[in-house]
Copies of this chain bind each other. A is one copy, B any other.
Amino acid sequence: MNHTIDVSNINIRTDLAIEEVGNDKKLNYVNEKTIGNIKVTCISIDDTNKDKFMKKNGKYITIEFEDATDYNNSKEVEDVFIKELKNVLQIYNINDDSTCLIIGLGNEKSTPDCLGPITINNIIVTNHYYELGINVEDGFRSVAAIKTSTMGQTGIETFDIIKAIVNEIKPDFVIVIDALKASSVDRVNKTIQITDAGINPGSGIGNTRKEISKELLGIPVIAVGVPTVVDTITIVNDSINYITNYYSYMKNNIDNPKEKLKIVRTNIDKSNVNQIDKKDLFGMIGTLNDDETKKFISEVLLPVGYNMIVTPKDIDFVVDKLANIIGNGINNALHKNVTNL
């Protein structure tokens, strides 16, 4: 029986802590609340529970919403984002005079990876006024902002660029913005994650690089990200579940001609997948659970260089709105004098 599939040694990565918690959210380190149509989940990873995650210790705040492109919705999301970002600043006793460097990671020329740099376009930059001795009214702090581009564009490890500039201008803390990778299509462009645990540049497009973190930079690092892509492994696994649910449904309704015309919105809630149907349909693959399936697909596809990303068709439109929410939100959280009218 040496032909069974062994996936015990493979790790599947998602950038979102919430995707590692799974369905069991009644845990003492998970804190949920709902504000209007927005759900906020705070996950605290520490030494007591870190074995359950492939993430570093830290707080992971997830803001989930339906549609950031609607004007009214977007204002609500922005309000929640401002509040949560301010909370994180308080944890580190960051006061109104602390200076900040904001860093946009990613490739401005590639729409699925441009969230970081286009958010930087929306940031109110003030550091040079303080440097040049120009009077700045009260209610502002010193903020600098850089776009690092990607290692493929600069030839330089992104961490090294950041470390060099942090050493040069010595900010009190940094905020890093990047496009992330989700492990579920349903979260793409519908989640903002704020964390104090640092970030790996390029993770959104699957090229993990040296991490940007408090440990390595010596100052608080707040990372803000939105999943804009999923990987091909996710798509294949999600499809297997969709297909099974569809098959189960059709099998049960096949004698009912009216049902054949119906467009089925299959449900991929894991608890709903009929395991017998799945095995019939997918054989040995059908006997694997989600994690196992992904690990197996990953083992096969990664080495052969499946160098693709999966992103929504309207990514340009949505990313633009998200960069406004995050840019305006950061301006609000950092400067007392900027108000979200």
Contact = CB atoms under 8 A, between A and B. Distances in A.
Nearest to A161: B165
Given A147-B149, A242-B304, A341-B72, A310 B309 contact: yes
B146 A154 contact: yes
A243 B110 contact: no
Interface stretch (A24-32, A34-42, A121-129, A216-224): A121-129
B144 A297 contact: no
Contacts of A144: 154-156
B125 A152 contact: yes
A163 B169 CA distance: 11
Given A285-B281, A308-B311, A2 B236 contact: no
A146 B161 CA distance: 10
A129 B151 CA distance: 10
Interface in A301-320: 301, 303-304, 306-317, 320
A249 to B, nearest CB: 10
A157 interface: yes
Interface string A43-76: 0000000000000000000000000000110010
A23 interface: no
Interface residues of A, number: 91
A21 interface: no
A3 B250 CA distance: 8
Top 6 closest pairs, chain A to chain B, by CB: A127-B155, A283-B283, A144-B155, A164-B168, A164-B164, A125-B155
Contacts of A320: 121
A143 B69 CA distance: 18
A168 to B, nearest CB: 4
A282 interface: yes
Number of copies: 4
Nearest to A254: B2
Interface stretch (A11-19, A83-91, A191-199, A263-271): A263-271
Contacts of A282: 281-286
B126 A155 contact: yes
Given A160-B168, A251-B3, A341-B71, A301 B242 contact: yes
Interface string A168-191: 110000000000000001000000
Nearest to A144: B155
A315 to B, nearest CB: 6
Contacts of A255: 2
A313 B206 contact: yes
Contacts of A246: 299-300
Nearest to A155: B127
B125 A304 contact: no
Contacts of A307: 312-314
